Amino acid sequence: MLAESVVLCLMCWVVTSGEDLYMNRALKLMSETPLIDGHNDLPWQLRKLFNNQLNQVELNTLETTHTNIPKIKKGRLGAQFWSAYVPCDTQYKDAVRQTLEQIDVIHRMCHKYPNDFMFATSSQDIMEAFRHNKTASLIGVEGGHSIDSSLGTLRTLYQLGVRYLTLTHSCNTPWADNWLVDTGAEPSQQNGLSPFGKQVIAEMNRVGMLIDLAHVSVRVMNQVLDMSKAPVIFSHSSAFSICPHKRNVPDDVLKRVNENGGIVMVNFYNDYVACSQTATLSNVADHFDHIRKVAGAGIIGFGGDYDGVTRLPEGLEDVSKVPNLVAELLRRGWSDDDVKAALGNNLLRVLKRAEEVRDSLSSNKPDDVPIPYSEVKNPCRTSYGYDDKGNGGIIHSLSIMSLLLSLTLHSTIPLITS
C-alpha cells in the first residue's frame, strides 16, 4: 500500500514538473517577445457599463470584465489592439460620433494609467513599450460603417491613431458585404466590394492602415487579397476546417494569407472555436495547429476577443490565462521560434510591411472622389457637394477607365529595346 502511494505521488510529481517546465518556458518566451493580441473589447464594456465615464472606473480593481490591469500583468500582455467598436444600428445615424468617443476613451485609458499603458501607432512603439514593461495600446476600428462611406473620415481616424479597420461588422456597408451573406441570412449588396470599396482598400494601403478581414464574406476576402499591396490581417478569426462557422477562415484563404504575408489572429470565442457553447483550451490549440499545418507558423497570431464575447474556453477565461495556451503549444511540440512568431513577431512584421507600403506610396495624392450619392442616400444624410443628379465621381470613373485602357494597351504592345 505504501509502495503504491509512493508511485502515485511520484507520477503526480513528474506530471506537475512537466507542466511547470512548459509554463516556465512559456513565460521566458513571453519575456523576450511581446504577446500582441489583435482584438479586445474593453472599451465597449466601458461604454455599456459606465457610458465612458472613465473617472468612475478603476481598472486595477474592476472585476466585471475579462480585462483589468492585474489580469493584463499576469497574462504578460505586451501589446493590445483595443477595439473602437460601435454597433451596426449606428450606421446611417451617429456611427462616426460614437466611434470618435470610443477612440477618445482608449486615449484616456492611456493617460489615466501611464505606468501600465503606452499609446502606440507603430511597430517601433510596440517594442519601446515592451522595453519599458508597459502594454502597447493600439486602436482598431471594428466595422466599416464607422467611416460613413467617407475617405476623409478614414484618413482622420488614421491621424487619431487608428491602425486597422475591420471592413464590416455583422452588417453590410454600402461598399462591402459582411460574413452573414455567406450564411444566407443577409443578401449580398455589392457582390463583395463595390468600386468605392476598392477605393477604400487602395486608400488604406496608401495611408498605412491595416485591412482587417475578420467579419467579411469570403468573396471580399479574396477580392482584397487580389488587390492589396500590404499584408492583410484577420484580427479575431479562427480556422473554418476545425469549426465550420462562417466567421472563420477557410483553408484556401489561409494559404493566400501566407502568400500575402498577412496574419490570422485566432479568436477564443467558444462558438468559433468548437461550434458549441462549451470549449476548452485544447480546442483553441487545435486551431493554432491546423493553421500552422496548412499555411505555416508565419501567419498565426492571438486574437482573443476578450470582453467582446459571452463564452470563453475552460482554461482561457480571461486575459490572465493566455500563458496557459502558450504552454500548451510548447507541450504540443511547437519550437521556440514558432511560438515567438505567433506571440508577436508575425504582427510586427505585418505592421512594418504596411508602413513600408505606406512610405512607398507617399507621393500618391489622397483619393478625394466621394462615393456616389445614390449609394448612400438616406433621410439622415445631406447631399452637399454633389450636383443635382447626385454625381460626385464621374471624372474619377473616366480617369480610371483611361488608366485601365492604358494598362491594357501597354501589356499587349511588345517592349522595344535598342
Set 37, 39, 66, 286: catalytic member: 39
Helix (H) or strand (E) holding 136: strand 135-142
Catalytic residue among 116, 125, 142, 286: 142
- Which of 177, 305, 328, 375 does the annotation list as catalytic? 305
CB atoms within 10 A of CB 62: 18
Neighbours of 272 (CB within 10 A): 25
Placement of cell 485591412 in the chain: 211
72, 62 Cβ separation under 8 angstroms: no
Told to judge if 132 belongs to the known catalytic residues of this protein, a careful annotator would answer no
Three-state SS at 347: helix
Per DSSP, helices labelled H in 116-167 are 123-131, 151-159
User: Is 290 a residue of the active site?
Assistant: no
Question: Is 236 tagged catalytic?
Answer: yes
Q: Which DSSP letter does residue 301 get?
A: E
Indicate if 410 belongs to the active site: no
Q: Angle, to 10 degrees, between the axis of helix 218-227 and the axis of helix 195-207? A: 50
264 beta partners: 234, 300
What are phi and psi for residue 85, nearest 5 degrees?
Answer: -105, 135
The half-sphere exposure of 156 on its side-chain side, counting CA atoms within 13 A, is: 14
Catalytic residue among 37, 41, 286, 338: 41
| Distances in whole angstroms, Cα of residue 343 to Cα of each of 77, 263, 391 | 10, 12, 48
Catalytic, 41? Answer yes
**Selected catalytic residue, list 66, 145, 169, 245:** 169
Out of 66, 145, 215, 290, which one is annotated catalytic? 215
C-beta of residue 94 within 8 angstroms of C-beta of residue 152: no
From the list 177, 203, 212, 236, the catalytic residue is 236
Residues belonging to the active site: 39, 41, 142, 169, 215, 236, 305
